Amino acid sequence: MLTLSDSMMMRFWLFTCLIFKPKLANQILRPTIQINYSLNLSKWLYFFIFEDMTALSKRIHALAESQTIKMAKMGRDLAAKGIDIINLSFGEPDFNTPDYIKDAAKKALDNNFTFYTPVSGYPELRKAITEKLRVDNNLSYDSDQIVVTTGAKQALANALLCLVNPGDEVLIPTPYWVSYSEMVKLAEGTSVFIPTTVEQNFKITAQQLEQAITPKTKVFMFSSPCNPTGSVYSYEELAELAKVFEKYPEIYILSDEIYEHINFGDKHESIAQFASLKERVILINGFSKAFAMTGWRLGYLAASKEIAQACDKMQGQITSGTSSIAQRAGIAACEGGLESVLKMKAAFLKRRDLVYGLLKAIPGIKTNLPSGAFYFFPDVSSYFGKSANGEKINDALDLSLYLLNEAHVALVSGDAFGDPNSIRISYAASEEKLSEAMKRIAAALAKLV
Ligand SMILES: Cc1ncc(COP(=O)(O)O)c(C=O)c1O
C-alpha cells in the first residue's frame, strides 16, 4: 500500500494552493524551472508531486539540465518550424576538423584500430601529449601522468570524483562553465562560489581567493581562457594566486585549459608552471576547441602519478578508454603543428572585434573585451524591469527568451553560468551571421521601455 510521507502531504497542500493562485505559482516556480512557466508547468508539477514515487535517484533529481544544450535545442526546434534563427548559443567552433586529422582517422579504420584501447589511452598518444605539454607549455610530464578521456568533460569529472569527499568544498570563481557546479554535486561536494564582475574583467584576486578558503576547501577549479567570459589570467595574476595556494598545501587545483589555443593575448600561461604547485595541479585539456573536434570526444588530464592512477581506475569502471579512432586522430593532431589552429584563431579574433564594436554601440550593455575563447558575456541588467508587447523582462532568462522570440537569436542566460545579470553570446559563427544577429538584438532591445 502506498503511504504518503510528510513531504508528500506538504506537496499536495502546496499543489492545491498553487492551482488556485497561478500568479504565486509563477513566482515560486520560475526560479526552479528556469524556463517559461507555461511550457514546463505540467512537467514540473508532475515531478513535484510524484518525485517520491519515481524510480530515479535523488542524485539525478538534484542535477540541473544543461542550459546551453537546452537553449541550442530550443533554437533548433524553432528553426525546424522554418523560422530564421541565428544560433549563438553553441560552445563549439563552426569549422570542420582539419583534413590531416580526418585522414588519420580513416587510416586508423583501414588499419583496424577498432579494439578496446588501454584505459588511459594509447601509449603513442600519451607520449605525443607529453611532447605537446613540453613544447607548448614548457611542462614536463611522463606518459603515466596522462589520462586520455572522453572529452575534457570526462577529465574534469574523473578528477572531481577522485578527489572530493562528501561535504568537501570546491571553490569556483563565477561566472563558470555550466557543468562545474553540477559535477561537484555528483561528487557530493559543496560548491563555494567566488563572485567576479565585468568591471574586474571577471577575474578573482588573491585576496578574494584567500577569503573563500576554509578548513573544508579541497579543490579550486577554473578555466583560463574562460568559458563564458573570455577572460585570461596573465602570468602575474596566476603567480599571485599561486602564492595563496602555497600557504594551503591541502588544496588541489583543477586548471581547465581547453581554450588554450584561442588566446588573443600573449602566450598561454598555465598554473601548473609553478613548481611549488605542480603536484597538486590537475591540468585539463583536449582537442575539441583547438582542432574543431567536439564530436570526436577526445580530452586528457595531466596530473601527479597518484591522481592519474586514480583517474585511470575511475574511468576503467565507467567508460574505459575513449574511441580508438579518435585517439589515432589525436596523435595526428598533436604531431601536425598549429597551422590550422592559428587560422581558426585569426578568424575568431576578427569576429571578436566585429562583435565588440557592435555590442558597445548598444545602449545599456556593459561588456569586457574578451582575450580568449569565443564568447561575450555582457551585463544586460539595465534592461531588467522593462517591457515590450506587454511582456516584462525580469531577468536574464526572460531577456534571452525575449531575444529568441523577438530577434530570433538564440543565446544562453547567465544564470546557467552562475551570473544572473548577463547573457552569453558565442561568436563561433560567420561574420555575416554575427552582424545580422547584433542588428536584430539591437532592434529588439530598443523596443523595451
Ligand atoms: C570550459 C570548458 N571545459 C570543458 C569543456 C568540455 O570540453 P569537451 O568537449 O572536450 O568535453 C568545455 C566545453 O564546452 C568548456 O567550455
Which triple of cell numbers denotes residue 345?
Answer: 584563431
Q: What is the pLDDT of residue 31?
A: 46
Residue minimizing CA distance to atom 7 of ligand 1: 152
> 403: which DSSP letter?
I
| Residues paired with residue 220 on neighbouring β-strands, in sequence order | 171, 253
Q: Give, for all 449 residues of the chain, the pLDDT tens digit.
A: 344 455 565 566 566 555 555 545 555 555 444 444 444 555 556 555 655 557 899 899 888 877 777 777 888 888 889 999 999 998 899 999 999 999 999 999 999 999 999 999 999 999 999 999 999 999 999 999 999 999 999 999 999 999 999 999 999 999 999 999 999 999 999 999 999 999 999 999 999 999 999 999 999 999 999 999 999 999 999 999 999 999 999 999 999 999 999 999 989 999 999 999 999 999 999 999 999 999 999 999 999 999 999 999 999 999 999 999 999 999 999 999 999 999 999 999 999 999 999 999 999 999 999 999 999 999 999 999 999 988 899 999 999 999 999 999 999 999 989 999 999 999 999 999 999 999 999 999 999 99
Q: Which of 191, 266, 260 is nearest to 227 (CA)?
A: 260
Residue minimizing CA distance to atom 14 of ligand 1: 91
**CA 112 / ligand 1 centre spacing (Å):** 29
Angle at 344 between CA 338 and CA 350, to 5 degrees: 135
**Ligand 1 atom with least separation from CA of 223:** 1
Q: What is the pLDDT of residue 431?
A: 97
CA dist 161 and 183 (Å) reads 8
**CA 281 / ligand 1 centre spacing (Å):** 18
**CA 446 / ligand 1 centre spacing (Å):** 34
- Residue ranges of alpha helices (H) inside 140-192 are 151-163, 179-186
- With a Cβ cut-off of 6 Å, ligand 1 is lined by 91, 151-153, 177, 223, 227, 256, 258, 286, 288, 294, 299
Mutate to test the pocket of ligand 1, among 258, 260, 285, 315 (most ligand atoms within 8 A of CB): 258
Q: Where are the beta strands (DSSP E) in 257-400?
A: 281-286, 299-302, 375-376, 387-388, 391-392
**Ligand 1 atom with least separation from CA of 286:** 10
**CA 153 / ligand 1 centre spacing (Å):** 6
**CA 379 / ligand 1 centre spacing (Å):** 23
**CA 109 / ligand 1 centre spacing (Å):** 26
| Cα 113 versus chain centre, distance | 31
**CA 222 / ligand 1 centre spacing (Å):** 12
Query: In order of start, what are the domains of the chain with their CATH numbers?
Result: 6-55 (no CATH), 67-95+340-446 (3.90.1150.10), 99-337 (3.40.640.10)
- Within 8 A by CB and 6+ apart from 59, the residues are 185, 186
Asked if residue 392 lies in contact with residue 245, where contact means CB atoms within 8 angstroms, the answer is no
**CA 449 / ligand 1 centre spacing (Å):** 37
Q: Which of 406, 399, 395 is nearest to 439 (CA)?
A: 406
Q: What is the pLDDT of residue 17?
A: 56
Task: Please give the order of strands across the beta sheet that includes 412-413.
Answer: 375-376, 423-426, 412-413
Q: What is the pLDDT of residue 404?
A: 94
Q: What is the pLDDT of residue 43?
A: 56
Distances, alpha carbon 379 to alpha carbons 173, 229, 253, in Å: 17, 11, 28
Residue minimizing CA distance to atom 16 of ligand 1: 227
**Ligand 1 atom with least separation from CA of 177:** 1
Which triple of cell numbers denotes residue 245?
Answer: 595556494
Mutate to test the pocket of ligand 1, among 69, 177, 180 (most ligand atoms within 8 A of CB): 177
Q: What is the pTM of this model?
A: 0.89
> 429: which DSSP letter?
S
- The sign of the CA dihedral 309, 315, 320, 326 is negative
